[in-house]
Amino acid sequence: MQRLTLRAGAAEDDLMLVFETENDDPPALEADFPLSCVLLLEDGTPVNLIGRNYVTEVVASYPYRVTAGRFFQVNTGVAETLLRLVSEWLAPDETMTVLDAYCGVGLFTLPLAERAGYVVAVEADPWAVEDLLVNTADQENVEVIEGPVEAVLSDLDVTFDGVVVDPPRAGLDVVVVEALAGMRPDRIVYVSCDPATLARDLKRLTDKGYRLVQVQPVDMFPQTYHIESVSLLTWAGHEA
């Protein structure tokens, strides 16, 4: 056994036990109470052992299906703060086309789609994309694109008024920075889980003509050194 994770959804009885082992042989299990059990293979594929392979999370009244092994903010109460900051700072309206990059299962996609005219959501993880398609099924103004952000943006011929990026700890690939600078959206909201890569990427973006307006730390993991940050950049209209 490499790892054992217990995930609780929004409902009291929405529990999922996720096993990660060194081999892909599913264990024989029996459950004495309502519980889903999933074996997560090395390639990220979830294998149902008991029940279903996902839970339903709720953040600020938005429901999200989250399959085993897919990333989702564990502190859903504080995640509401992220949603509020992203929505307020990007300030989307029905005239705007918005990019949600590294969107996962659609944490920001759903609230953005309620206000923006059109949302393009980009995610590389195929299992997260399946959840994303379920979560946005009722949103006719959302286009879902599966693939690495750096590859998708290089081929995307769309003008964006606003962009949300929520990359993994490694931050933005330089190809993504170049693509964003070429698109020149009026606003970029950057959600980061690593202050070091955030600082690096903010420097790269400001060198490309963006102005850093504000940064808000968010205590996603109390009593730890981990911190989330939300940053707002606006196009300053000059070349470095």
Residue written as tokens 């994309």? 129
- Compute the half-sphere exposure of residue 110: CA atoms within 13 Å on the CB side of its CA: 23
Sequence-ordered list of residues with C-beta below 8 angstroms from that of 12, at least 6 positions apart, any chain: none
- Spot the catalytic one: 59, 193, 202, 220: 193
Is there a contact between 235 and 186 (Cβ–Cβ < 8 Å)? Answer: yes
- Please give the Cα distance from 171 to 165 (Å, whole number): 9
CA trace torsion 129, 123, 79, 135 (10° rounding): -30
- Please give the Cα distance from 13 to 33 (Å, whole number): 9
Tell me the residue length of the chain.
240
Q: Please state whether beta strands 187-192 and 162-165 pair in parallel, antiparallel, or not at all (unpaired).
A: parallel
Angle among Cα 50, 7, 148 to the nearest 5 degrees reads 95
- Please give the Cα distance from 18 to 47 (Å, whole number): 10
Is 193 part of the annotated catalytic residue set?
Answer: yes
Both tokens of residue 71? 């990333």
Q: What residues are annotated to the active site?
A: 193
